[in-house]
Amino acid sequence: MENKEGFRIEHDSMGEMYVPVDKYWAAQTERSHENFRIGEGIEVMPREITYAFGILKKAAALANAELKPEKMTAEKLAAISEACDEVMTGKLNEHFPLVVWQTGSGTQSNMNANEVIANRGNEIAGKKLLHPNDDINMSQSSNDTFPTAMHIAAVMLLEDKVIPAAQALVDTFAGLEKEYEGIVKCGRTHLQDATPITFSQEISGWRSSIERDIELIKLSVGPLKELALGGTAVGTGLNAPKGFDTLVADKCTEITGKKFSTAANKFHALTSKDEIVFAHGALKALAADLMKIANDVRWLASGPRDGLGEIFIPENEPGSSIMPGKVNPTQCEAVTMVAVQVMGNDVAVGMAASQGNFELNVFMPVCIYNFIQSARLLSDVMNSFRTNCAVGIKPNREKMDYNLQNSLMLVTALNPYIGYENAAKTAKKAFKDNISLRQACIELGFLTPERFDEVFHPEKMV
């Protein structure tokens, strides 16, 4: 190949390739870059995976330095470690251009990491010291590194973004519970009036739902901390030194501060994605609860005059290009759209995980792409909903009391005194004649005015 301005010539086992002179990637990355122009510029491999590769490649070099010091010398380790640190900081993101829609094993993203770390390491060392396959990929295969990157990325997202965002929302709801304790309002089931509850009890349901989702997510994190690294190509550990799998997991723990361990069965670790499916199921549960909470909030805030109007929420932006003064529950709508996206992603994650044929799953990039999107979106939308809506929720006490006093289901308090059937007759007469429960009950002769006033206390029904 002749020299081409702005490019250098790199080679792999298939021949030579032109690579931009200002990029650290090499021939295999360039082949993928040219062969998979699918969603280019939009759906690149998530940066969480890039970051995870920085972690695992450094961990592998550290483990190899202890187990194979004749091959992973101190000089090589120093150059690799510095390059991996730059990968982890995001400094080298522009050198990871590959899209999600590539080989289903993630092989090309593994080689992208190998080539970038090797070329940057050589630049750091000031000489041709490192080879992408022989040094950066030492004791590894794409088939065990990509599932390892998936697990590391998932753990980091769940523990460092999703759970903190969910806990912050829990704390906000807890504050609202305390602030608005004692306000009695109408409960609702089937979108119909029901017996009374307090506003704080209603909020406590929201809080408890998110608390339970946090518990479920934490349960799902444990299995994700088991790593496939050390299984190499098909799970046998071929070309990895004895003890590499446990040592490299320990090194991942040292780098991240999170307790990783080696997967007990590497044949399972390479082909099954059940840990990702289980964890995404917990994310779907969170999405389902957020959908319910957001819908509750926008129903309760509906109006301002012709809806329920029982709460006020912050007015953040104009709601209509044609109706002056209209304000909409936009944060609630964002939450519900994210919930729908996460539920759709759950289908993709489950379908991808079902495609583990023989010794390898080959739907891994799309599996982790959807998982990461769900985790990102849920974290962001919970933070947005909390700061732009939840913290500003206020009760409309007058409307709550008005709706409560007009609720026919308060008649339930009369069941012990006049029986279910007579209570039903009272409610139906009150509704038909548009009169109060008190008047209906007295006109039907079920209770005297004095006895009704003695036994009928809605505030005691909570």
Helix axes 47-67, 364-388, angle to 10 degrees: 120
Active site residue 95: no
Active site residue 190: yes
Cα–Cα distances in angstroms (integers) from residue 205 to residues 101, 284, 309, 461, in the given order? 41, 18, 20, 18
Q: Residue 77 and residue 457: Cα distance in Å, rounded?
A: 76
Choosing from 11, 320, 354, 457, the catalytic residue is 320
Query: Which distant-in-sequence residues (6+ apart) come within 8 Å of 171 by Cβ?
Result: none
State residue 426 phi and psi, 5-degree precision: -65, -45
Residues in a beta bridge with 19: 8
Phi-psi region of 212 (alpha: psi -120 to 50; beta: other; left: phi over 0): alpha
Amino acid, single-letter form, for residue 173: F
Tokens of 88: 């982890």
Q: Residue 146 and residue 149: Cα distance in Å, rounded?
A: 5
Q: Determine contact, residues 199/297, Cβ cutoff 8 Å.
A: no
Choosing from 190, 200, 379, 407, the catalytic residue is 190
Q: Residue 56 and residue 143: Cα distance in Å, rounded?
A: 13
Amino acid, single-letter form, for residue 83: A
Closest Cα to residue 62, out of 250, 199, 194, 226?
A: 250
Length of the chain: 462
Q: How many CA atoms lie within 13 A of 38 on its CB side?
A: 10
State residue 189 phi and psi, 5-degree precision: -130, 145
Q: Which residues are catalytic?
A: 190, 320
